[in-house]
Structure 1
Amino acid sequence: MEMDLPSAIANAQKEHFHADWFLKCIHWLLSLAILVIFSSIGSVYSLINSYNRRSLIIQTISFVYSIIDSIWGYRDYFGHENKMCHGTGIFLIFFYLTVLIIGFYNSKINNSNKVISVTYKVLSCLIVLCGVIRLSAGVVSMLEFCYDDHTGQCNAHGIMGMSFIVYGVLLSVVLVVPWLRVNKGKYSQEMYDSTVIMVWGVINTFTEHRPWEPWSHGDYQHTSMGIIFWAAGLLGMFLSINRKRNFMPALTMILTGYAMSGHVQELIISTKVHAFFGYVLMFGGLARIVEISFLLDDKDESIDGEIRSFQYLTPFALILSGILFMGANEEQMQLVVNLGADHSSYILTITSAAMILQLWILALLRFYLKLTETSKTNNSAYDDINTLDHSDGQSQFELDNFSV
């Protein structure tokens, strides 16, 4: 029996749907490899002056790919280009171009201008963050999320979740890099943390509720979170005077986790994911208090001089909670329900992603320390040779502009 015309059209559309989905997945994975993984290696190279040339090569390759990526773009199943992907793609092209211009100029002047050198390093690290945003836009386009009324809610989850991840990354850097782990600055770590928390709280207090609309249950929840943030931040700043360590940033994590653990959602699975997010955040705050109170001496080093495995818990908890919160938006929770999965399966998958991300961050930090050690060794060897006497009275090596 021959298939009728409507059925044939439906089957053709279904085959096109699967082929289009396969190509989008390949495109996304390729973007992950080049715009995030490859670019993050280039960012590490950029932090050491003697490896700037390698970082520029990697950034040039990524820049060329970003142009191709923007031209290709992500297209949803209705045939029109997703505006967010197009916008982030164009922004990434100009951002890469800016970094390359500054990087080539910095290389030309041999890192002699500290402002240019520091600017290049900072922008090189921000490239990775831009790549992550680009990939997030790809997911939004592939799954057709965050359109219309869902846009604000997705943005809130994305921004807040990314903030937790960035905080976890910063704590990992401070923990692993020795010259940052030993606090010799004017202020303690908690002074910086409390200041950011205070500013964030002020912004949330006055932006979570529209004055011309009646107060809702969600408005009370989000505004109260903003109030506790700036109140805790101010107290933390006061307790940080004279480079004192204190518990307020960690206590803020615990209070935030407590509030989110009881944040009831429309879907049961969403309520459970939010609850687990809260538990993880509370655990991370408790681990931070234990670390500051019992594992660090007066010089902010571990008592035995080594990093204990317990100290990795807080950065990991922040990264995990950030990914959980980013993945707890309304439409993503509905997708999990439609797939027939439960909250435990989804949480385990998210936790696996957080572990891989933490692994990659720690690997990059170890790579940075190794490059720094190698660069210093090479410089020391060159300096020793440069001081040797030669029969012609001339030095065989010119290293006046060479710096780590």
Structure 2
Amino acid sequence: MRARWLTAAGLFLTLSALSSPSPTAASPSVAARDTFADVPGNALSRRDGDHAHAPAHNHNHKGTVLAELNETEILMWHQPTPPSYYTIDWEGEGDPNETRHPSLMMAHIVFMSLAFFGSLPIGIVLRSVKHPAHGAAMISFYGFSALGVSSSMLYNKMTPNMYDGSVHGKHGYFVLVLALCLSAVDIVAGFTRLVSFIRSANKSIKVFWQYVILNQSTDAHSQGPEYAGLIAEDPEEYEIAKLGVPHSDDSPDSPDETEQWANEVHRHHNRHSSIVSDRTLFGNPTRSHSSDTLNETAKQNSRTAGGWAVYIGQAVFAVLERSLVIAGFGMVLTGIVVYTGGCRQSWVNGCLAHLIKGGIFWCYGLLTFARFLGSYAELGWAWNRAPKGSKYTAEFTESFVIFLYGVTNTWMERFGASPGDPYTTKQVQHISIAVMFWFAGLVGMGIESKRVRRWLASSTFESFSNPTDMPPEAITEPPSYLASFNPFPALVIGVTGAAMAAHYQRYLFQVQIHSLWGNMLVAFSVLRCLTYFFLWLGPPKSILPSRPPTEALGSFFLACGGIVFMFSTEEVTIAAMRRGRDDVMMFLNVAVAITCLAFCWTLCMVALKGWLKSRTHSNVTYRSSNISA
């Protein structure tokens, strides 16, 4: 296996060397300009809608790429850049006699970062494992948020308004109100426990602390007085089904070595269970009766409307709670925009497009890295076999998101155009990419459908003219059916990167930045295909995350490409050229540093959750796999 990964690394480096542009080919448009220098201007075909500064994309030009900034041309399409909070705090613009307070803004940034990227994700992790310290984490979240809001209010009182129409504060208050609404669920649950404690016979301080404050079940409150002497056990101790992928259409007939090992671990874990409560509660010492009883009860509860309502409510709560972290990331972007005075007037459409789309690739990269670390292993999304089966694969989810992205962006590309305006070249470029997302996502979802796969495999039996000639026994599926090998998500990302790397820009620096993040998306696509290649040779057989190194590299390129995507917005690149910061290496290094910081944060959160879960499964042991030469 090591030889395979070394081969992949060599292949990737070779592809990178072949795809790297030479210095002489950095600007094809400049070379073309020199070649056709003697050709009259009206002999060159004009391109419509490609002018970088025209708000309506209706200015014609000859497609030349400029190396130096043309301020006169910029002012033809954009108003002069007004002062911002950043310029009056750090560059001395405005009234020099007025005292500035950038330290208050720094305090706001620090406190809100600790709240949304420290206390909040830790609280979510603690809730996921039902840890009693979840309440303390959420209290610290609201404490940091209060300090951050207070410092922001003081800053606004002492600083003139430099950004008319800002909604950053309103969005922040909305996110905090949503967090309070979610915390209200915990408050109601705590009040319910308090009422139950008051009505109970045992009103000791120990029971109050464990049951009401820490939300830890006690015998007197969880089982009633008739079962007060019994030992509380996990429902998983009554499982009779073998731990492994359940027998289904996607599973082989005979268990493999991994399932046998997993069952040995499971039996080792079950040896520590209590037989007393098993006999007392169910009246039968056999483990099968206990398992059947619990399974039937679970099935009956799942069929009831109340059971479905609880399940849907829990799912909605989990999605909303985790979306608070993404909302915090969105608040970081809008806060930077407001503080630096960006995305105003005619810049707004391009700014929003780069921030939203780049933010999507950024989050996609972080989630891909989390999958590499082992997140979603219970669903089989960590390049492993699902322990209990999964209805939807990770590739199906990726294809669905790609489809949804394409559907929405197909119609958004005409924003700002007047009715009856012809489609410009740039609009055709972007709409065609959105349509690719749309239908490639549909193809990806179709490939992931088990029913569609059976339809596609039905042509195998056309050679049997007589139905009686069909093989009576079950047909063994190939090992490749154990995993999903869907290249369409990677194909979509790779084609998008290749197209954007060749996207026309007005200035050479903008061409280089777009080429940088476009090639990063292509690198992710190549690495994802290499992952599929090696997993095709040896599909995952273990329920443990396999952690293919190509996914670690691919997720890094994807996340870093998303950051550079956001950096490549026209207003940012022009501001960099004005200040002499138009250096591609600087942009790349900043993006790499931010990505490494975010990956470290992701590793800490995933590791914390794994450590907390390992404390509840301390009896599980691991066996090293045999390494063949």
TM-score class, shorter: 0.7 to 0.9
Matched, 1:140 2:337: yes
Q: Which deviates more, 206-215 or 155-164? A: 206-215
Please give the secondary structure, in 1, of the residue aligned with 2:167.
Answer: helix
Q: Is the contact made by 1:297 and 1:303 (CA closer than 8 Å) also made in structure 2? A: no
State how many pairs are aligned: 369
Shift of 1:29: 3.2
Q: Is the contact made by 1:169 and 1:319 (CA closer than 8 Å) also made in structure 2? A: yes
Residue number in structure 1 paired with 2:113: 32
577, 589, 600: which is aligned to 1:337? 577
Larger radius of gyration, structure 1 or 2?
2
Please give the secondary structure, in 1, of the residue aligned with 2:95.
Answer: helix
Shift of 1:160: 0.6
Shift of 1:374: 2.0
Shift of 1:366: 1.0
Residue number in structure 2 paired with 1:203: 408
Unaligned runs of 5+ in 2: 1-91, 194-214, 217-306, 451-482, 621-629
Q: Quick one: structure 1 residues 14 and 295, their matched pair in 2 at CA, closer, same or farther if it must change by over 3 Å?
A: farther
Shift of 1:362: 1.7
What is the alpha-carbon distance in structure 1 between the residues aligned to residue 136 and residue 577 of structure 2? 46
What is the correspondence of 1:220-259 to structure 2 with a 5 Å cutoff? 220-242=428-450, 244-259=484-499
What is the alpha-carbon distance in structure 2 between the residues aligned to residue 165 and residue 301 of structure 1? 30
Matched, 1:127 2:324: yes
Q: Is the contact made by 2:108 and 2:149 (CA closer than 8 Å) also made in structure 1? A: no
Unaligned runs of 5+ in 1: 1-9, 381-404
Residue number in structure 2 paired with 1:392: none
What is the alpha-carbon distance in structure 1 between the residues aligned to residue 543 and residue 141 of structure 2? 41
Q: Is the contact made by 1:239 and 1:245 (CA closer than 8 Å) also made in structure 2? A: no
Q: Quick one: structure 1 residues 80 and 328, their matched pair in 2 at CA, closer, same or farther if it must change by over 3 Å?
A: closer
TM-score of the superposition, structure 1-length normalised? 0.81
Residue number in structure 1 paired with 2:604: 363
Residue number in structure 2 paired with 1:260: 500
184, 204, 207: which is aligned to 1:101? 184
What is the alpha-carbon distance in structure 2 between the residues aligned to residue 260 and residue 301 of structure 1? 38
Matched, 1:324 2:544: no
Q: Match of 2:510, as an amino acid?
A: S
Q: Is the contact made by 2:111 and 2:147 (CA closer than 8 Å) also made in structure 1? A: no
Q: Is the contact made by 1:73 and 1:81 (CA closer than 8 Å) also made in structure 2? A: no
Q: Which deviates more, 147-156 or 79-88? A: 79-88
Q: Match of 1:98, as an amino acid?
A: C
Residue number in structure 2 paired with 1:193: 398
Residue number in structure 2 paired with 1:56: 138
What is the alpha-carbon distance in structure 2 between the residues aligned to residue 228 and residue 308 of structure 1? 28
Matched, 1:13 2:95: yes
Q: Quick one: structure 1 residues 152 and 41, their matched pair in 2 at CA, closer, same or farther if it must change by over 3 Å?
A: same
Q: Which deviates more, 98-107 or 141-150? A: 98-107
Residue number in structure 2 paired with 1:290: 530
Q: Quick one: structure 1 residues 297 and 359, their matched pair in 2 at CA, closer, same or farther if it must change by over 3 Å?
A: farther
Q: Is the contact made by 2:485 and 2:536 (CA closer than 8 Å) also made in structure 1? A: no
Q: Is the contact made by 1:106 and 1:116 (CA closer than 8 Å) also made in structure 2? A: no
Q: Is the contact made by 2:487 and 2:529 (CA closer than 8 Å) also made in structure 1? A: yes
What is the alpha-carbon distance in structure 2 between the residues aligned to residue 215 and residue 244 of structure 1? 39
Q: Match of 1:174, as an amino acid?
A: R
Q: Is the contact made by 1:320 and 1:351 (CA closer than 8 Å) also made in structure 2? A: yes
Q: Superposition RMSD on alpha carbons, in Å?
A: 3.1
Residue number in structure 2 paired with 1:395: none
Shift of 1:281: 0.3
Please give the secondary structure, in 2, of the residue aligned with 1:254.
Answer: helix
Residue number in structure 2 paired with 1:160: 357
Please give the secondary structure, in 1, of the residue aligned with 2:550.
Answer: helix
TM-score of the superposition, structure 2-length normalised? 0.54
What is the alpha-carbon distance in structure 2 between the residues aligned to residue 320 and residue 11 of structure 1? 33
Q: Is the contact made by 1:165 and 1:322 (CA closer than 8 Å) also made in structure 2? A: yes
Deviations 1:289-346 (A, max 9, x none): 1112214677546899642433211222221111111222122112222231212211
Residue number in structure 2 paired with 1:174: 371
Q: Match of 2:410, as an amino acid?
A: T
Q: Quick one: structure 1 residues 244 and 304, their matched pair in 2 at CA, closer, same or farther if it must change by over 3 Å?
A: closer
Shift of 1:377: 4.4
